[in-house]
Amino acid sequence: MFNSELRRGSLELLVLSVLDGSPRHGYEIGKLLSYRSDGKLEFSVSTLYSILYRIEDRGWIRGRWIERSGERRRRRYALTSEGQQALAECRAEWRAFASVVNQVIGYANA
């Protein structure tokens, strides 16, 4: 829905935030993003997994095969401690950026 440039910049933050709390597998992450955004954010399979693999390479998340009773084995991702830190920094940065942008565009219309 939104401009793809905008989306891409915030993708990693979005994925990290969904993983804050409990480990999740790829499909869950996609569904949560869709749910939390009331359907306004949908990602293709390739995009989602390329983000996951990228931030996994960076060491911000770790993926593990986990089997829960009643379910088949799934690969679930969880935040590492570096990931937690990165998430906090990204959140702070986003809030700062958003407020600056608001300030600028609001100022023009004022």
Partner 1 sequence: MHEWDRFLRDRLDLHKAKGTKADRMFAEFADHLEDLYQDAISRGDSEEGARQKAEAALLEADWQAVGGRLRPGGGKAVIAPKPLDALRKRLPLDTLATEIRFAARLLRKSPGLSAIAVLTLGLGIGLTATMFSIVHGTVLKGLPFEGAERLMALDRQNLQHGYAGPGVPIHDFVYWREQLQSFESLSAYAGQTMSVFGEEGADSYAGARVTANAFDALGVPPVAGRGFRPEDDLPGAPAVVMLGYHVWESRFAASEDALGQSLLLNGEPTTIIGVMPDGFRFPFLHDLWTPLRLDPLAVERGRGPRLEVYGKLRASASQASAQTELGAVAQRLASEFPTTNAGLTAVLTPYADIGKEPRATLFSMLAAVLFVLLISCLNVANLLLARASSRSRELAIRAALGAGRARVILLLVTEGLVLAAVGGGIGVALAALGIDIFERATASVEMPFWIDIGLHAPVLAFIVVVTIIAGVLSGLLPAIKASGLGLIKALKDEAHGSSGLQVGRVSRSLIVAEVALSVALLVGAGLMIRSVSELGRLDYGFATSAVLTGQLSPPETTYKDGSARQRYFERTLAELEGVPGVQVAALSTGLPGVGSGVAAVVVEGQIYERPSDLPLSNRDAVSAGFFEAFAVGVLEGRSFDSRDRAEATPVAIVNESFAQRFLGGDEVIGRRIRDVRMGEPVESGVWRSIVGLVPDLYMSGVEDDDDQPAGFYVPLDQTEVRVVYVALLAAGDPLGLAQGAREAVARVDPTVPLISIQTVKGAIDQTTWYFRVFGGLFVVFGFAALFLAAVGLYGVLSTSVGNRTREMGIRMTLGARAENVRALVVRQALAQVAVGLGFGLILALLISRGLSVLMYRVDSWDPITFGVVVLTLLATGLLAAYVPARRAGKVDLMVTLRH
Among 23, 32, 34, 49, binds partner 1 (CB under 8 A): 49
What is the number of residues in the chain?
Answer: 110
Among 9, 20, 27, 36, binds partner 1 (CB under 8 A): 27
107 forms part of the interface with partner 1 (CB under 8 A) = no
Is residue 23 a contact partner of residue 101, using CB atoms and an 8 Å limit? Answer: no
Among 56, 90, 91, 94, binds partner 1 (CB under 8 A): 56
Find where tokens 């990165």 sit.
Answer: 86
Give the shortest CB-15-to-partner 1 separation in angstroms.
14
Token pair belonging to 89: 């920094």
Phi and psi torsions of 33, nearest 5°: -60, -45
Among 36, 40, 62, 95, binds partner 1 (CB under 8 A): 62
26 forms part of the interface with partner 1 (CB under 8 A) = yes
Among 3, 5, 6, 57, binds partner 1 (CB under 8 A): 57
Q: Cα–Cα distance between 44 and 109 in angstroms, integer? A: 36
Angle at 37 (CA atoms; ends 29, 99), nearest 5 degrees:
110
Is residue 24 a contact partner of residue 15, using CB atoms and an 8 Å limit? Answer: no
* Contact set with partner 1 (CB under 8 A): 25-27, 44-47, 49-50, 53, 56-57, 59, 62-65, 72-75
